[in-house]
Structure 1
């Protein structure tokens, strides 16, 4: 039986008081990893980041309905934010350690934003109030329905994208600012950054939409490419 790359998936955490607190993650994250040929593992928050990374071949940083502390990207908060410091600190430690190992990383939505911050980038704190003429990037509809187009604006070092325009879903109110520390791979028609890639080294890609829903053709390309790199990484470890 062929080896199945081990993919660590970061969960969210609910706000129930202990001891009823739960780690939560949507099933379709794990299903997308399994469909692409990987073995998904949930990563509960702890300090033993290197031990986790020793056990996996790729890191999937999931989305979440909360924001990253603006102080982490050299800004002052311009509104009240819902933040989850325990989750952000854990995921940040994972990303930074995975980058140092050149372990394959995919960051989705909030995960893309944190990847950008870890690489040295900054964020748009609120799209609707900061970007004139912006689309509604957090529509009142399920993420299983495509909401707007993205335009492939850069050539990836790791993914073979097909076509220049894709219809994707959308569930976010913040976005990544362009930066010299990563390449912008895709934008929406209003100029919002929709995908980034680390400029050198290993596979480290962030997407602002939610490819785990499988709404767009490019979603399969992302997960297949991620698992292929995780398989290569597992061979290098051996």
Structure 2
């Protein structure tokens, strides 16, 4: 039997005081990995990132209702922030370690933003106040419902996406990624907000601003298939 690639999933952590503190991650992240042919494993913050990277074949950096410290992308804070330094430091170490190993990385929403920061990029701190003509990217509706269109604007090295195609996606974010020399913009919304990126060099390192774990868009399947195919190839090369 062919070995399924092991996908490490980063969880969030609640704000309940110890000993009742909990790691939390939505079930549909794990379900999406399982459906795409992988084995999902949740990665608690306590262990050294290198120990996890020795065991997994792909890294899934999930979204979350918090922001990345602007100091990490060379900016001063322009708005009030809710930050989770422990989680961000843990995910940053995982991303950097995975990049060094050539391990596939998929960043979703906040995970895409942190991937961009790790690749040397920066962020729009607040879309409504900084992007002229932007529409609402954090609507008051379930993420199981698509909210706006994106257009694939360049050809991916790893995902089967046709440039010029338009897809309706869900949306749950108030920040976005700025362009940088280290990654290509794969998709954008009509208001210029970047919706997907891919590292220009090295192995699979893709970020999407929407939430493909809900399976709300036709493009989601291509994201999961590409990620799991890269993880399977990585596994076959090192095992």
Same fold, judged at TM 0.5 (above): yes
- Worse-superposed segment, 168-177 or 41-50: 41-50
Contact 2:7–2:57 under 8 Å retained in 1: yes
Given the alignment of the two structures, is residue 160 of structure 1 paired with residue 160 of structure 2, yes or no?
yes
Gaps of 5+ in 1: none
Q: How does 1:52-67 map to 2 (within 5 A)?
A: 52-67=52-67
Q: Which residue of 1 aligns with 2:112?
A: 112
* Alignment match, 1:82: 82
For the pair 1:183 / 2:198, whether they are aligned, the reply is no
Asked if structure 2 preserves the Cα contact closer than 8 Å seen for 1:47 and 1:90, the reply is no
Partner of 1:28: 28
Stretch of structure 1 that moved more, 227-236 or 47-56:
47-56
Q: Secondary structure at the match of 1:195?
A: strand
Inter-partner Cα distance in structure 1 for 2:114 and 2:172: 16
Q: Is the 8 A contact 1:58 1:230 kept in 2?
A: yes
SS at match of 1:40: strand
Cα distance in 1 between the residues matched to 2:159 and 2:86: 32
What count of residue pairs does the alignment treat as equivalent?
238
Secondary structure of the residue that 2:106 maps to in structure 1? strand
> 2-side partners of 1:103 and 1:164: how far apart?
28
- 1:111 match: secondary structure: helix
Question: Deviating runs (4+, > 6 A) in structure 1?
Answer: none
Q: Is the 8 A contact 2:182 2:201 kept in 1?
A: no
2:173 matched residue in structure 1: 172
Q: RMSD value over aligned CA atoms?
A: 0.8
Distance 1:152 1:237 in 2: 32
Structure 2: which 5+ runs fail to align? none
Displacement of 1:46: 2.5
Q: How does 1:3-18 map to 2 (within 5 A)?
A: 3-18=3-18
TM-score (structure 1 length as normaliser): 0.99
Scaled by the length of structure 2, what TM-score is found?
Answer: 0.98
Contact map agreement 2:62 2:108 (CA 8 A) in 1: yes
Equivalent residue runs for 1:80-229 within 5 Å:
80-162=80-162, 164-229=165-230
- Secondary structure (helix, strand or coil) at the match of 1:217 reads coil
